[in-house]
Structure 1
Amino acid sequence: MSLLLLVLIFAYAALSVLAWRCWQRHTAVPYPLRGEQLLLLSVLLLHTFTVWQPMLQQRVLLVGFGHALNLITWLMVLLYWVGSFRYRLQGLQLALFPCSAAVLLLAWLLPGQPTAYPMHNSAFMIHVLSALLAYALFGITTLLAVLMLVRNHYLHRRKTVPQQSFLPPLLSIEKLMFQGLQAGFVLLTIAAVSGTVFSEAVFGEPARLTHKTVFGVLSWLIYLVILLRHHTQAWRGKKVAWWVIVSFVSLMLAYFGSKFVLEILF
């Protein structure tokens, strides 16, 4: 399986090179979206196999540092691929593909010590699946926030560059970002409530205050404030984009930070 993971790393690296070359060349040449979708489909099929084959074979859900990174990356790429048929996501692949290659490389180098949970534990499945989907959605919205900052940077430059037209309009990026934030916030709330109320059924112990809890609550509160201020005060622009990035970093510290300390350092 580690060999297949290496193949995936090189595949996403190759897709990164193709996307960046299309971005750098003259805009008169249209972006080969259909070609990318076909190539990405083949990569996604291989990625799906590497993620789910060991779990379906053993009928357990593997939750470890490396496998969780692999699973969330798979979800993010899948969300991008499905969304590319309906939305104009051009430009997002400039960050998504290199990040996917880098995260999978980290997962390959630091697999951690995966814990197997039986899939018949419904409370655990609700908690983990809602959390993983929330992380994937927030990952996409964070990349959209970065794309929004780049688009905003181009808009404020005195000289227009050809690469600027490669990116979607700023309002379209912002609209997609807030749609993703709303869906991710609902899923994160479900994960938080299920993890707290059914803590003994999920983790075998009552809920307690930990590093993971503190950063998880902090990121939930930041996302809540962002959404409330957007709906009540029409909050938007660069400040929102930066807070989306800060909240995602806090969320990653909550989950992967604790896993890194427990599985890699100790």
Structure 2
Amino acid sequence: MAAIALYLCGAAYLITSVLQKRSANHQWITAFAISALGLHALATYPMLFQSQGLNLGFFNVISLTFWVINLLVLLSSLKKPLHTLFIFLFPFSAVALLMSVISHDESLVTQVNGEMIAHILLSILAYSLLIIATLQAILLAYQNYQLKHKHPSGPIRLLPPLQTMEALFFEILWAGEVLLTLSIVTGFIFIDDLFAQHLVHKTALSILAWVIYAILLWGHTVRGWRGFMAIRWALGGFTALMLAYFGSKFVLEFLLS
């Protein structure tokens, strides 16, 4: 509850800053993030790691993913202008953590070996980076729209220059695609049958997401794709990736259980 309260307080502070058209204090944002992440970790660890194995329930994984996303953004924001992403991340993290506490189910515990843990961690890191890239794409779309319609005032003034935002977007996208590649490769190596009935949708959609992101990166490098063209491809890859893991997991745990 303390972690959730800190996330919500941080979100309220950022939203207030935007409404008042002033830059948020980086030290305050960092303090909110570090405090909330520490408490989030203390709350999540015993729910994930249990004596019988790992509890990789739907909301537990979402909560862990948001923890990783927040950590990556926090570390990156020390050198790059990514702190504006917390305006999305803080409220979603609060909801994710609350749902993991409310819906905790010990029957979802599974035993996994070290190889599978490595695959799971790579997957979560890949998803986390690509979610960050998607949030960056949303901000880019907003920035592009405002500049195109000659509204360079209000909240847009709080964002870094468009070229900086776009460069960050493709840097994060490249890192996410590399980790997604490793995740898919380790899946083929460590999982006996990735095309088994309960995994086939996840595998096919993950490969589709990888292809979409690969086309986007190729188009940017070779054809110079940027702006709304790049944003549309990024959102398409994100949709496929979310359906691959969270969509499949939701169906298996809630609709078919």
TM-score of the aligned structures, taking structure 1 as reference length: 0.87
Q: Secondary structure of 1:160's partner?
A: coil
How much does 1:50 deviate?
1.8
- Whether the aligned pair in 2 keeps the contact of 1:67 and 1:107 (CA below 8 Å) is yes
Task: Write the distance in 2 (CA, Å) between the matches of 1:98 and 1:77.
Answer: 11
Task: Write the distance in 2 (CA, Å) between the matches of 1:155 and 1:91.
Answer: 18
* Structure 2: tracts of 5 or more residues without a match: none
Q: Secondary structure of 1:61's partner?
A: strand
The superposition leaves residues 190-214 of structure 1 with CA deviations (integer Å, 9 ceiling, x where unpaired) of 11111112212xxxxx231611122
Task: Write the distance in 1 (CA, Å) between the matches of 2:25 and 2:195.
Answer: 51
* Structure 1: tracts of 5 or more residues without a match: 201-205
Tell me the C-alpha RMSD between the 2 structures.
2.0
What pairs with 1:164-203 in structure 2 (closer than 5 Å)? 164-200=156-192
Q: Cα distance 1:207–1:26, how it changes in 2: closer, same or farther (>3 A)?
A: closer
The superposition leaves residues 94-115 of structure 1 with CA deviations (integer Å, 9 ceiling, x where unpaired) of 2222332333344445446533
TM-score of the aligned structures, taking structure 2 as reference length: 0.90
Task: Write the distance in 2 (CA, Å) between the matches of 1:142 and 1:18.
Answer: 23
The superposition leaves residues 124-166 of structure 1 with CA deviations (integer Å, 9 ceiling, x where unpaired) of 1221110010011011111000010111122122343232210
- Whether the aligned pair in 2 keeps the contact of 1:90 and 1:166 (CA below 8 Å) is no
User: Match of 2:5?
Assistant: 10
Task: Write the distance in 1 (CA, Å) between the matches of 2:31 and 2:235.
Answer: 30
Residue 136 of structure 2 is aligned to residue 144 of structure 1? yes
How much does 1:55 deviate?
4.2
The superposition leaves residues 75-97 of structure 1 with CA deviations (integer Å, 9 ceiling, x where unpaired) of 00111111111101242222222
Q: Cα distance 1:129–1:90, how it changes in 2: closer, same or farther (>3 A)?
A: closer
Amino acid at match of 2:95: A
Task: Write the distance in 2 (CA, Å) between the matches of 1:239 and 1:115.
Answer: 42
Among 103, 111, 114, the alignment partner of 1:117 is 111
Among 195, 201, 207, the alignment partner of 1:208 is 195
How much does 1:117 deviate?
2.8
The superposition leaves residues 188-243 of structure 1 with CA deviations (integer Å, 9 ceiling, x where unpaired) of 1111111112212xxxxx23161112211111110111111111112111121122
User: Match of 1:203?
Assistant: none
- Whether the aligned pair in 2 keeps the contact of 1:137 and 1:184 (CA below 8 Å) is yes
Aligned length: 252
Structure having greater relative contact order (Cα 8 Å, sep ≥ 6): 1
